[in-house]
Amino acid sequence: MPVSEGLNLAMMLSESGIIDNAVQELMLHKQLIIAAESNPGIKSAMKKQIMKWRGQVQKRITNVSVEERFHQEIELYQQACNWQADQFIENVDDVVKQLEGHSAFYFKAKTLLERDHQKHNPMFQSYFCSQWHKYLTLALTEAQQIELEQHKEKLLADLYQRIETMQHMEAVTEAGDEKKAGRLWDMAKAKLTKTDVSTLKNMAQFLKKNSGLKDIAEKLGRMANEVDDPNKERVRAEDLKMVEEQSDNVTDDIVGIHESDDLSKLLPNEAMFLAYPELEVVFYKHLVDKRLLNYKMQGAQRKLRRVKAYKRQTKQVEQEKGPFIVCIDASGSMNGFPEQCAKALAYGLMQIALAEDRECYVIMFSTQQITYELTKQDGLSEVLNFLSYSFHGGTDLGPVLDQSIALMLSEKYKNADLIVLSDFIAPSQPDEMMKRIAKLKENRNRFHAVNLSKYGNPELMTVFDHCWSYHPSKLGRLFKWK
């Protein structure tokens, strides 16, 4: 089946420049130009999206030729071109009948066949096929142009939607970060309602007022670079250290009297020798002999001294920052202020993940688990679903730790930071779980806990490398809720 001819024809048309012209027309839209110039991250993300669309639409319009309406005609055209002259004259009438109703070449072909004397011309077959090719090319071009326009309209609608969403997000996120803006553009396909924007604004304001939560999020973002490298050996090294030494030249305190020749520290009664001419020579003799009574001063003098010590070659190692796996206790005991704190902290970690090109995976757990990927494509929908989730049920930490460990063992979530946000009113974990966690810690996975209650189980907290406690007073809470 000679599909290759049709594919070659369609490829020739798709590469003729109509797609590049469509891309240029897109980039000349005023609203797109303004959005691109507003932030380098948006400009880069928009260009990447349009180039991706260019590749996809080229493939789509190439496939126009294999649609049934063109496929059959191209097959007939290929047969007619390959026939011998006698075979062509014998079958051409039947070919034209098959074109009726679905080929633009039908009426032109019928006109050509009405002139019987031309059929026996040796050049008739060649002329007939060249005219057919011309009509086929025009029909394919028109079909591709229609297909291209449809896809261009869809792309424009998507770009305008993203611009609108990004404008709403300006009031919600901190501006100026190129990477964050680029990733937000990728997530901005979701259309935000006024309620959605209000929800995001309220969460951003809550996080801003609760500066302690923001500090915790920022510390968690830096944790990947604050771990000791167990593979580095300790070596003997010299370092400069400031030390204090006792010195008689530092006038901090008067500690007694001694004989000296320092006139600045002279006792007043020694100057009485100068009041009488006959005793003046005694004063000068004491001065020469360094026997004048002086105040004795003493104090601490600071100086640099080289100190030898054993230490690692590099205490901290730069390593690739992995994803955030945020496990949030969605039990009924977390209702109210703790729930707001947990959601706000997860929202803050999402912002850091966007800026640092990391992933942010949230697991809501009580008696069951619900997962959200906040930084994926269309991630804003996930964020809004997550923020609207109501907490209820009981605390069951074991299954969520199982799920998190399984994630951390996968390639995508290796070197991840696991953060558990809970009131930790739950039983301690079994020894088997502790061993699994210890093994992951050896591979530089980090385990963190944020305790949102005064009554958390202390033994449960020993699972984690770092623990924060955040439960402001009721008076402070009332202020932060405003």
Kindly report, residue by residue over 227-266, the tens digit of the pLDDT. Answer: 544 444 444 455 555 556 666 666 677 888 889 888 888 8
pLDDT on residue 326: 92
Tell me the pLDDT band of 3, cut-offs 50, 70 and 90: very low
The residue with greater pLDDT, 223 or 453, is 453
Mean pLDDT of 109-126: 78
Find out whether 15 and 61 touch, Cβ atoms under 8 Å. Answer: no
Mean pLDDT of 396-417: 86
Tell me the pLDDT band of 80, cut-offs 50, 70 and 90: confident
Q: What percent of the chain has pLDDT over 70?
A: 77
Radius of gyration of the chain (CA): 41
pLDDT on residue 250: 67
Please give the C-alpha separations between residue 335 and each of 97, 200, 209, 330, 340, in angstroms, as whole numbers.
76, 19, 19, 8, 8
Of 152, 143, 5, 155, give the one whose Cα is nearest residue 61: 143
H or E segment at 139?
A: helix 124-169
pLDDT on residue 1: 34
Please give the C-alpha separations between residue 145 and each of 14, 16, 72, 81, in angstroms, as whole numbers.
9, 12, 21, 27
pLDDT on residue 109: 84
Mean pLDDT of 443-466: 85
Tell me the pLDDT band of 145, cut-offs 50, 70 and 90: confident
Find out whether 228 and 315 touch, Cβ atoms under 8 Å. Answer: yes
Tell me the pLDDT band of 7, cut-offs 50, 70 and 90: very low
Please give the C-alpha separations between residue 140 and each of 57, 60, 63, 95, 135, in angstroms, as whole numbers.
15, 13, 11, 20, 9
Show me where the domains of the chain are located. 3-169, 216-225+318-481, 234-312
Helix (H, G, I), strand (E, B) or coil at 266: strand
All residues at 6 or more sequence positions from 285 whose CB lies less than 8 Å from its CB, including other chains: none
Mean pLDDT of the chain: 77
Q: Is the pLDDT of residue 117 over 70?
A: no
Distance CA 75, CA 436 (A): 64
Distance CA 198, CA 216 (A): 24
Mean pLDDT of 453-477: 77
Find out whether 325 and 361 touch, Cβ atoms under 8 Å. Answer: yes
Instruction: Give residue 335's region: left, alpha or beta (phi > 0; psi -120 to 50).
Output: beta
Which burial class, exposed, middle or buried, applies to 467 when counting CB atoms under 10 A from its CB (0-12, 13-18, 19+)?
A: middle
Q: Is the pLDDT of residue 450 over 60?
A: yes
Give per-residue pLDDT as tens, 345-387: 888 888 888 878 888 889 988 877 888 888 777 677 888 888 8
Tell me the pLDDT band of 73, cut-offs 50, 70 and 90: confident
Mean pLDDT of 271-287: 86
Distance CA 80, CA 57 (A): 31
pLDDT on residue 63: 64
Mean pLDDT of 158-163: 82
Mean pLDDT of 49-67: 72
Distance CA 420, CA 422 (A): 6
- Tokens encoding 121: 């011309």
H-only helix segments in 188-237:
194-209, 211-222
Give per-residue pLDDT as tens, 172-229: 665 455 666 667 777 777 677 778 778 888 888 888 888 888 888 888 887 755 554 4
Q: Is the pLDDT of residue 116 over 70?
A: no
Of 229, 158, 206, 170, give the one whose Cα is nearest residue 38: 170
Of 139, 132, 200, 134, give the one whose Cα is nearest residue 166: 200
Distance CA 61, CA 51 (A): 16
H or E segment at 363?
A: strand 360-365
Distance CA 273, CA 27 (A): 99
Fold exhibited by the domain 216-225+318-481: Rossmann fold (3.40.50)
Give per-residue pLDDT as tens, 297-328: 887 766 656 555 545 544 444 456 788 999 99
pTM over 0.75: no
